[in-house]
């Protein structure tokens, strides 16, 4: 069975969002957001709560109407279509299953509500439900009610229900938000495989940066209703556009510095400034685990080690740098050479990111 939507001739662009704004009373939820998704792309909308990511998803589904802007899908004006004609498969954080229906009835719902002329026969519906049940690995559970399932199973049913209508686009609103960490990771892998097999353009909302970076083809980072950065996971991780993105994508350390004539100076340490660095006073950001250690008489920033704590596979190193406490990280069982509690070492960030100060 194929879950491919009706073949789209435009391979390049499936979804085009242009200048979408939405206001709730006086609170702007979306400010002039524009972005595109290619056919069969897996796009993650990432941001803290209140960033507008869920509002954008609901605009795509037709559950919210934007105040301004344009949404096109496969060249068609999507905003002109009512929700039920958009054929998008939506998966909600709290599953939103029909409690009074069995799993099989839930999955069949989108087919049974079709107009008589478009409705598959009873046996076709049964076959399709069986196929979907096996796709979500729940072959034997079709007769159960949602209340008799675990959270992970419920979300798989919700996904099967959304796929049953052969959606043109799959929209997922924090689908794993209510599940525990172990189940989340399993479902994440599985969802990606499912997407690759089904080949549906997918937009995925999450506030978990690890999830977004792990799953998506491209990540859109939103803050306060604005699109801050859009790119492949490794691009945005390695070159965050703003200090906010740097902070949001992982743990960060920061120090004030100065760029002058291609040289970066932080306290008494001087090194070549990375290409494209801003001139003048800068904020130097780096990841706590992307640091080289050197002996106290070597080159780098002086760090006074204050404490060393093992945390599972990692080692946390608390130190004092330029009068401020800093938390560094090293991987693996052995400590970097020369790192001893109470003694100074020199540290050099491997890939400092520079942003204009202020």
Partner 1 sequence: MTDHVAAPPVIRSGGDIAPRPRRLKEHSILPGFGLSLGITLVYLALIVILPLAALALRPWEIGLDGVWRTLTDERVAAALKISFGLSLLAALTNAPLGLLIAWTLTRYEFPGRRIMDALVDLPFALPTAVAGIALTALYAPNGPLGAMAAKIGLKTAYSPLGIFIALVFIGLPFVVRSIQPVLEDLDRGVEEAAQTLGATDLQRIAYVVIPALGPAILSGVSLAFARAVGEYGSVIFIAGNMPLKTEIAPLLIVIKLEQYDYAGAAAIGLAMLAISFGALVVMNVLQIALARRGRA
Contacting residues toward partner 1, per CB under 8 A: 61-63, 83-90, 92, 94, 96-101, 109-110, 113-114, 145-148, 158, 161-162, 164-165
Q: Which helix (H) or strand (E) holds 250?
A: none
Shortest spacing between CB 112 and partner 1, in angstroms = 8
HSE of 154 in the Cβ direction (CA atoms, 13 Å)?
A: 21
Cβ–Cβ < 8 Å for 285, 355: yes
Shortest spacing between CB 124 and partner 1, in angstroms = 16
Shortest spacing between CB 45 and partner 1, in angstroms = 17
* DSSP class per residue in 222-233: EETTEEEEEE-H
Report how far Cα 78 is from the mean position of its chain's Cα atoms: 24
The sign of the CA dihedral 234, 238, 243, 249 is positive
Q: Which is nearer to partner 1, 93 or 209 (CB)?
A: 93
Rg (CA), the chain: 25
Q: Which is nearer to partner 1, 87 or 192 (CB)?
A: 87
Cβ–Cβ < 8 Å for 240, 295: no
Q: Which is nearer to partner 1, 154 or 287 (CB)?
A: 154
Q: Which is nearer to partner 1, 99 or 310 (CB)?
A: 99
Shortest spacing between CB 89 and partner 1, in angstroms = 7
Cα gap 75→79, rounded to integer Å: 12
Q: Which is nearer to partner 1, 80 or 272 (CB)?
A: 80
Cα gap 74→62, rounded to integer Å: 16
Report how far Cα 200 is from the mean position of its chain's Cα atoms: 17
Q: Which is nearer to partner 1, 159 or 345 (CB)?
A: 159
Shortest spacing between CB 76 and partner 1, in angstroms = 17
Shortest spacing between CB 85 and partner 1, in angstroms = 8
Q: Which helix (H) or strand (E) holds 5?
A: none
């Amino acid at each position: 069975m194929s879950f491919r939507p009706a073949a789209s001739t435009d391979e390049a662009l499936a979804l085009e969002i242009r200048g979408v704004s939405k206001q709730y009373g006086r609170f702007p939820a979306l400010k002039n957001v524009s972005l595109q998704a290619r056919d069969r792309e897996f796009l993650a909308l990432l941001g803290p709560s209140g960033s507008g990511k869920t509002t954008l998803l609901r605009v795509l589904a037709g559950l919210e109407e934007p105040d301004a802007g344009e949404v096109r899908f496969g060249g068609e004006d999507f905003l002109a279509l009512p929700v039920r004609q958009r054929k998008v498969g939506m998966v909600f954080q709290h599953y939103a299953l029909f409690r009074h229906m069995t799993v099989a009835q839930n999955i069949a719902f989108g087919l049974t509500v079709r107009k008589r002329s478009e409705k598959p026969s009873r046996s076709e519906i049964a076959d399709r439900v069986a196929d979907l049940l096996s796709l979500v690995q729940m072959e034997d559970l079709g007769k159960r009610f949602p209340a008799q399932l675990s959270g992970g199973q419920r979300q798989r049913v919700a996904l099967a229900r959304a796929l049953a209508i052969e959606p043109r686009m799959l929209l997922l609103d924090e689908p794993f938000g209510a599940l525990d960490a172990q189940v989340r990771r399993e479902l994440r892998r599985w969802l990606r495989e499912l997407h690759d097999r089904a080949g549906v353009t997918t937009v995925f909302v999450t506030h978990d940066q690890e999830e977004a970076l792990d799953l998506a083809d491209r990540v859109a980072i939103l803050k306060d209703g604005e699109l801050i950065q859009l790119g492949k996971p490794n691009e945005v991780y390695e070159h965050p556009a703003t200090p906010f993105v740097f902070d949001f994508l992982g743990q960060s350390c920061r120090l004030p510095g100065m760029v002058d004539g291609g040289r970066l100076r932080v306290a008494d340490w001087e090194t070549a400034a990375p290409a494209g660095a801003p001139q003048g006073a800068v904020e130097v950001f780096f990841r706590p685990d992307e640091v080289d250690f050197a002996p106290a008489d070597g080159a780098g920033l002086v760090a006074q080690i204050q404490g060393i704590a093992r945390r599972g596979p990692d080692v946390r190193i608390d130190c004092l740098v330029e009068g401020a406490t800093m938390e560094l990280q090293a991987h693996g069982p052995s400590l970097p050479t020369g790192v001893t509690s109470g003694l100074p070492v020199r540290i050099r960030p491997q890939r400092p990111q520079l942003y204009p100060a202020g």
